[in-house]
Amino acid sequence: MKANKHKTLLLAKKTRPLHARHLGLHFDYPSGTARSYLSRLGRQGLLERTRGGYGLTKKGHDRLRYFDIFGCARPGCSLCKGKSGYLTWPECGSRMSKQKARNSKERDFFLVVRHEGVSCEQCSTLILDGDQARQIGIAMEE
């Protein structure tokens, strides 16, 4: 069984502290594999040692958020089916194709300021700020 980074980080978010035996419980990893996988994620800066196990770092949270939006690109990840080529809003589950998405300019409405970036048409959650949208090549709105 191959380790799934996305699911392991998600488990680390829910289970604090995360211990190798949790990986055994949830994913059937043998305990040696689970321990070495956790320390590998630690070396990548995604997890940090805490009392009794591991916790998700800031970098780990950011990576998880990235996976939730773009997918983790691991073939067969059940959390990411159909995400490739799309932006997914973790808040509401909406999806939008990257081609269709537009980077909106900052705009001052009567009571609210809409910030620059890509936001959901339904719940208006800002998913990417203007710089992040430019980095992945999302077009500016007309």
CA distances in angstroms from 115 to 29, 41, 99, 109, 140, listed in the order given: 44, 34, 20, 11, 13
Does the protein bind Zn ion through residue 120 (CB under 5 A)? Answer: yes
Q: How far is the CB of 94 from Zn ion (least distance, A)?
A: 4
Stretch that binds Zn ion, among 21-29, 43-51, 79-87, 108-116 (CB under 5 A): 79-87
Burial class (CB in 10 A: 0-12, 13-18, 19+), 128: buried
Does the protein bind Zn ion through residue 13 (CB under 5 A)? Answer: no
Q: How far is the CB of 73 from Zn ion (least distance, A)?
A: 8
Whose Cβ is closer to Zn ion: residue 69's or residue 120's? Answer: 120
Helix (H, G, I), strand (E, B) or coil at 134: helix
Does the protein bind Zn ion through residue 79 (CB under 5 A)? Answer: yes
Closest CA to 103 of 78, 132, 74: 132
Whose Cβ is closer to Zn ion: residue 6's or residue 63's? Answer: 6
> How many Cα atoms are found within 13 Å in the side-chain-facing hemisphere of 133?
22
Does the protein bind Zn ion through residue 77 (CB under 5 A)? Answer: yes
CA distance 65 to 4: 15
Does the protein bind Zn ion through residue 57 (CB under 5 A)? Answer: no
Does the protein bind Zn ion through residue 10 (CB under 5 A)? Answer: no
Q: Which residues contribute to the site for Zn ion (CB under 5 A)?
A: 6, 72, 77, 79-80, 89, 92, 94, 120, 122-123
